[in-house]
Amino acid sequence: MLMPRMSPGERRAALISAALAVMRRRGIAGTTARDVAAELGSSSGLIHHYVDSMDELVAEAFAVAAGEDLLQAETAVRDEIGAVPRLAAFFDAYARGDDDGMQLWLDAWSEAARRPALGRISRELNERWQGLLAGIIRDGIREGSMSAEDADSSAWRVLSLLDGLVLQTVAHGDVISRAQADAWARAGAEGELGLPAGSLRGAVRTP
Amino acid sequence: MLMPRMSPGERRAALISAALAVMRRRGIAGTTARDVAAELGSSSGLIHHYVDSMDELVAEAFAVAAGEDLLQAETAVRDEIGAVPRLAAFFDAYARGDDDGMQLWLDAWSEAARRPALGRISRELNERWQGLLAGIIRDGIREGSMSAEDADSSAWRVLSLLDGLVLQTVAHGDVISRAQADAWARAGAEGELGLPAGSLRGAVRTP
DNA sequence: AGGCTTATTGGACAAATGTGCAATAGGGCG
DNA sequence: CGCCCTATTGCACATTTGTCCAATAAGCCT
């Protein structure tokens, strides 16, 4: 049985989408070319007609998935006015991500030092997350609504606290609930930036 | 060539030590039975004479390595008197760990949800790290040297901030230096616990 | 309609993997 | 000293992996 013939652009997008599905199911390290082909419903040979190596494929797929999440956060932040509402929107956007997305990040961090392509993407995206935060904090300092000695280090702290807490949620099941991780990270950010307690409380959201 | 015959206890310890060396070099997911045998200098068949599966071996090896680090932290903390010096000792002990040790943690977090044995160990050790911190913080509150609404959530915050910052160091090379991650985490803890800035500054250490 | 580019197939290939097992040999115990 | 338990060997086995390639066919252009 033959797959419908697609343009390289479409097929490549379909490939990445299939790779992503397998990565979410089996983890980055456990993603094989044959599994991706099966997910796609195509022959296994098709994968290497579009991609030189599996490392390249997983790196690109991760870049797409994690890049979309970041983009959503960036636009959500841009839609708000004022540093504090923007920071709240940042947390809301982060909270909107699912556990599978965070598991992908855990895999990426684990493999980053060993897979050059993946490591570059992971680092670049992390720096953009931090940059997004740092911009908000700089605005807050300028407005007078936030206080921080150094926006960059505060941004790294807020981001790392959030990552570190959600990490526990995803890796270890319910040692911490996701809602608790989110609330604790917001509280930590309030302390870090001299905000009144509760300033960043997230909108109650029906999932 | 034959390996010197060892008692099961000794051999098992040697196996774990060899497994650990391979895990540090190739990552948890990339640790194979043959590599462990080669590291040990034995035949590959020996591995399965002592262990039922590779998952069991890596979980046990991780438990030993990470358990030793935790034990060192626990005794280092116990050797100090007063909550603030104890917390400083906690950070010193954490900082004494090398990048390979943290890379092992990244691997463990990544695989925790997929390897039951490894996930249990990882979660248990993380809870003990948090418990160690929570005890220090409770002491600090009792002494009046620290202020925190809830020792447990503060402990999770301090630990997750530290993990999240060091994670960046190990996964992404020098996006943040390890020293910077350490200093920022201490500063964050000072803020979290209402300590004067600089209270937790680490002893200058020659690596 | 006919040809030609190329997307797609299906399998070949070698290397590596976890796991099991019969054979070997070292050393403690009678 | 000699026997027997078992630590250790070395390989077999079936899978699975990434990578590659000749053959096939789909659909666009002239």
SS3 track for B6-29? CCHHHHHHHHHHHHHHHHHHHCCC
Confidence of residue A203 (pLDDT cuts 50, 70, 90): low
Taking 50 as the pLDDT cut, the residues of chain B under it are: 204-207
**pLDDT value at residue A3:** 82
Q: What count of other Cβ atoms lies within 10 Å of the Cβ of residue B109?
A: 27
What does the pLDDT look like over A33-49, one tens digit per residue? 999 999 999 999 999 99
Question: For B49-55, which contacts have Cβ atoms below 8 Å and span 24 or more sequence positions?
Answer: B50/B8, B50/B11, B50/B12, B50/B15, B51/B15, B55/B115, B55/B117, B55/B118
- Which A positions 106-145 lie with beta carbon below 8 A of chain B? 106-114, 119, 122-123, 126-127
What does the pLDDT look like over A88-98, one tens digit per residue? 999 999 999 99
A6-32: average pLDDT: 95
What does the pLDDT look like over B72-121, one tens digit per residue? 999 999 999 999 999 999 999 999 999 999 999 999 999 999 988 899 99
What does the pLDDT look like over A73-120, one tens digit per residue? 999 999 999 999 999 999 999 999 999 999 999 999 999 999 989 999
pLDDT at A204 over 70: no
A27 neighbourhood in chain B, CB within 8 Å: 110-111, 114
Q: Scanning every residue of chain A, which has its alpha carbon at the shortest distance from the alpha carbon of B182?
A: A157
Confidence of residue A206 (pLDDT cuts 50, 70, 90): very low
B160 neighbourhood in chain A, CB within 8 Å: 160-161, 163-165, 167-168
Q: How far is CA A83 from CA A135, B28, B116, in A?
A: 9, 42, 43
Spatial separation of the C-alpha atoms in residues A134 and B15, rounded to whole Å: 47
* Residue-level length of chain B: 207
A–B interface: beta-carbon pairs under 8 A: 138
**pLDDT value at residue B184:** 97
Instruction: Say if the Cβ atoms of B161 and A161 lie within 8 Å.
Output: yes
Which one of A110, A122, A123, A182 would you mutate to disrupt binding with B, by most B Cβ within 10 Å of its Cβ? A110
How far does CA B29 lie from the centroid of its chain?
18
CB-based contact A73:A93 (threshold 8 Å):
yes
B188 part of contact set with chain A, CB < 8 Å: yes
B122 neighbourhood in chain A, CB within 8 Å: 171-172
**pLDDT value at residue B112:** 94
Domains by residue range for chain B, with CATH: 1-51 (1.10.10.60), 63-192 (1.10.357.10)
Enter the tokens of residue A115.
Answer: 């897979």
Q: What count of other Cβ atoms lies within 10 Å of the Cβ of residue A98?
A: 14
Spatial separation of the C-alpha atoms in residues B22 and B30, rounded to whole Å: 8
pLDDT at A138 over 50: yes
**pLDDT value at residue A201:** 85
| A159: closest CA of chain B, how far (Å) | 8
Q: Whose CA is closest to A135, among A185, A80, A176, A98?
A: A80
Q: Whose CA is closest to A193, among B167, B93, B164, B191?
A: B191
Instruction: Say if the Cβ atoms of A109 and B29 lie within 8 Å.
Output: no
